[in-house]
Amino acid sequence: MTNELYAVVGNPISHSKSPRIHSLFACQTGELVEYTAIQAPIDEFSGTVRHFFERGGKGLNVTVPFKEQAWTLADHRTTRAEKAGAANTLYLDQENELVADNTDGVGIVRDLQNNHGVALKGLKVLVLGAGGAARGVIGPILAEQPAALTIANRTVAKAEALVRLFAKDAGATVLSASGFEAPDQPFDLIINGTSASLQGDLPPVSANVIGPATVVYDMMYSLQTTTFNQWALDNGARRVHDGLGMLVEQAAESFFVWRGVRPETAPVIEELRTD
Ligand code: NDP
């Protein structure tokens, strides 16, 4: 039996941990999966995807900067991808048509709930950022029925647009938008979905959003404590987590979408931490 071919597409891509994560999943489950990394030229995403599937490829993950293009390119989208406005998972259906899915949102919710014991129901949640990553997590967070969800962003209009987009999914959750400076009360959970940390910057949010019970989650991950998480600890947060678990959980969900087999994530997260 031969391995079936999967890959992650991005630009740049050499830093990607996805090949390592998926090869650990394949070893663990015995699935015949070969997973590589493909750097697509910036203006050649659709050609790269077409070529991959023409060669018999079974599934693709998509990362920066192509997630929106993957969403546009697909013939069909899952409900969660439709709402996220971006796709990180592609495959062909039985009619050979391209399907786009998004597993990032479910990834963060599983990491929070299963790996860190943070049940979202009834919590007061603050999401910082209104870009692709933030948009992808809003729907899955709302599905867990937090008491309140505030989306704060530098460009307030983008946070307001997300509130309009998700208003119907909010149910009993109080959903609101603001700039970074406005929130002035402690939240139970703060999720940093801005890319400020990538430059070592902090979103200019008041330290009053952190109380002694606050859990902080930075979607970014690094070997050292991220800039945002260090700021949160310095201001008295109870616990901080980075986005490595989210990365592994979204990968596990993609693996499940493609193979129908759900790998165990805890040993893989552990392994990556010690790499
Ligand atoms: P986008 O470019 O789509 O959005 C960036 C967001 O950050 C916007 O809200 C933007 O505000 C804000 N922002 C950028 N720079 C600053 C700054 N200096 N100060 C304050 N706000 C800033 O990026 P993504 O949403 O795709 O990614 C965001 C982060 O999430 C990245 O760090 C990425 O690595 C991480 N991520 C992690 C994943 C994981 O699996 N762990 C998965 C996906 C993403 P404005 O709207 O005003 O421009």
**Which amino acid type is present at position 10?**
G
What are the tokens at 226? 């991220």
pLDDT higher than threshold 90 for residue 49: yes
Output the pLDDT for position 96: 96
What percent of the chain shows pLDDT beyond 90? 95
CA 254 to centroid of ligand 1, rounded, Å: 22
Say which residue the tokens 């993957």 belong to.
Answer: 70
Give tens-digit pLDDT for 200-246.
899 999 999 999 999 999 999 988 999 999 999 999 999 999 999 99
CA 56 to centroid of ligand 1, rounded, Å: 34
Chain-centre distance for alpha carbon 128: 14
155 lines ligand 1 (CB under 6 A): yes
Rg (CA), the chain: 19
In terms of DSSP bridges, do strands 59-62 and 89-92 run parallel, antiparallel, or are they unpaired?
Answer: antiparallel
Output the pLDDT for position 94: 96
Output the pLDDT for position 14: 95
**Which amino acid type is present at position 232?**
A
CA 188 to centroid of ligand 1, rounded, Å: 21
Please list the active-site residues: 67
Atom of ligand 1 nearest to the CA of 154: 47
250 lines ligand 1 (CB under 6 A): yes
**Which amino acid type is present at position 195?**
S
> What number is the average pLDDT over the span 164-168?
96
In terms of DSSP bridges, do strands 148-152 and 33-39 run parallel, antiparallel, or are they unpaired?
Answer: unpaired
Contact indicator for 149, 165 with CB cutoff of 8 Å: no
In degrees rounded to 5, what are phi and psi of residue 117? Answer: 65, 30
Residue 92 buriedness (CB in 10 A; 0-12 / 13-18 / 19+): middle
CA 192 to centroid of ligand 1, rounded, Å: 8
Non-local (6+) Cβ contacts of 264 within 8 A are 28
Contact indicator for 197, 220 with CB cutoff of 8 Å: yes
> What number is the average pLDDT over the span 173-182?
97
246 lines ligand 1 (CB under 6 A): yes
Atom of ligand 1 nearest to the CA of 129: 9
201 lines ligand 1 (CB under 6 A): yes
| Peptide bond just before 186 cis, omega within 30 deg | no
220 lines ligand 1 (CB under 6 A): yes
**Which amino acid type is present at position 6?**
Y
126 lines ligand 1 (CB under 6 A): no
Output the pLDDT for position 106: 97
Output the pLDDT for position 200: 85
* Calpha distance 18→37 (Å, rounded): 8
pLDDT higher than threshold 90 for residue 1: no
Contact indicator for 219, 108 with CB cutoff of 8 Å: yes
Which pTM was predicted?
0.95
